[in-house]
């Protein structure tokens, strides 16, 4: 029997919350046949391979909110589940400043293989879940759970967390306000990244194209380094999400 992880795992599939959580960068797993894509093992522990702390945060949010959660089983270096297939960063040859040898010069057949193995199963499950919700007349809000590195290409980032959104401006602004109300927190409003249809997948496809509120939550990775950080941010984000979904 293979002990390879599934390309997608659904946690708390019967959750009653209107929120649907996605963690597209949950795992740094690369199958042995890919020989770590030519990277040293230490590189796979870095943010280039996955979103550090995001899976642990997402699982705690799912429990606190009674929300379904889809977790990816493989590294973003194989194929990034939050990038359109035509984007250069879908299968990156360079991530931040690190060359990914196993992604250089791959052919169309290998790209299609990775799409079929990891990209399509994840997004088909999410789309099917949202279709079923819509058919049942149940509301849905799509939340991607991510983390970001404190320093990127030598630049230190001041934000503790950020909310990224496209057309869901009211929902995004409510989350920014809710987090920024806590003293001492610096919250990015479409920072440290912005949603772009050419560069993002979850929000444009599963949210905006369906007319659903959709955002990405971004928490700085040094704040998710241990269980205390996971618990702290899960409590904080669950409170703010509940308020934004069911305002008084």
Q: Is residue 203 domain-resident? A: yes
**Could you tell me if residue 168 is inside a domain?**
yes
- C-alpha dist (Å) from residue 161 to 19, 29, 218, 244: 19, 25, 5, 17
Tell me if 148 is assigned to some domain.
yes
d(CA 240, CA 105): 44
The pTM score is 0.96
| Beta strands across the sheet bearing 8-11 | 8-11, 69-72, 19-23, 141-148, 214-220, 161-165, 187-189
Residue 195 lies in a domain: yes
Output helix, strand, coil percentages for the chain, rounded to the nearest 5: 40, 20, 40
Whole domain around residue 115: which residue ranges?
Answer: 8-245
Q: How many domains does the chain have?
A: 1
Domain assignment present for residue 3? The answer is: no
Q: What does the alpha-carbon distance between residue 49 and residue 80 come to, in Å, rounded to a whole number?
A: 10
Q: What is the pLDDT along the chain (248 residues), one digit of tens a residue?
A: 467 999 999 999 999 999 999 999 999 999 999 999 999 999 999 999 999 999 999 999 999 999 999 999 999 999 999 999 999 999 999 999 999 999 999 999 999 999 999 999 999 999 999 999 999 999 999 999 999 999 988 889 999 999 999 999 999 999 999 999 999 999 999 999 999 999 999 999 999 999 999 999 999 999 999 999 999 999 999 999 999 998 65
Instruction: Give the CATH number of the domain where residue 216 resides.
Output: 3.40.630.40
* Contact by Cβ (8 Å): 140, 211: no
The 3-state DSSP class for residue 169 equals helix
Structural domain includes residue 2:
no
């Amino acid at each position: 029997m293979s002990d390879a992880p599934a390309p997608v795992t659904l946690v708390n599939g019967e959750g009653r919350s209107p929120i649907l959580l996605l963690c597209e960068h949950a795992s740094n797993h690369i199958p042995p046949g890919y020989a770590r894509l030519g990277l040293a093992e230490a590189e796979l522990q870095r943010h280039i391979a996955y979103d550090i702390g995001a899976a642990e945060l997402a699982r705690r949010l799912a429990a606190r909110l009674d929300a379904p959660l889809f977790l990816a089983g493989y590294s973003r270096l194989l194929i990034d589940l939050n990038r359109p297939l035509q984007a250069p960063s879908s299968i990156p040859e360079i991530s931040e400043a690190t060359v990914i040898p196993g992604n250089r010069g791959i052919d169309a057949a290998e790209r299609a293989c990775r799409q079929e193995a990891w990209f399509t199963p994840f997004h088909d499950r999410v789309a099917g879940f949202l279709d079923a919700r819509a058919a049942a007349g149940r509301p849905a809000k799509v939340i991607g759970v991510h983390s970001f590195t404190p320093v990127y290409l030598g630049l230190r980032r001041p934000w503790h967390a950020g909310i990224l959104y496209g057309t869901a401006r009211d929902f995004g602004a409510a989350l920014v306000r809710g987090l920024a109300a806590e003293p001492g927190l610096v919250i990015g409003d479409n920072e440290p990244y912005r949603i772009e249809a050419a560069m993002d997948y979850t929000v444009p496809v599963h949210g905006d194209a369906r007319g659903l509120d959709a955002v990405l939550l971004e928490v700085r990775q040094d704040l998710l380094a241990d269980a205390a950080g996971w618990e702290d941010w899960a409590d904080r984000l669950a409170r703010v999400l509940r308020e934004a979904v069911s305002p008084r």
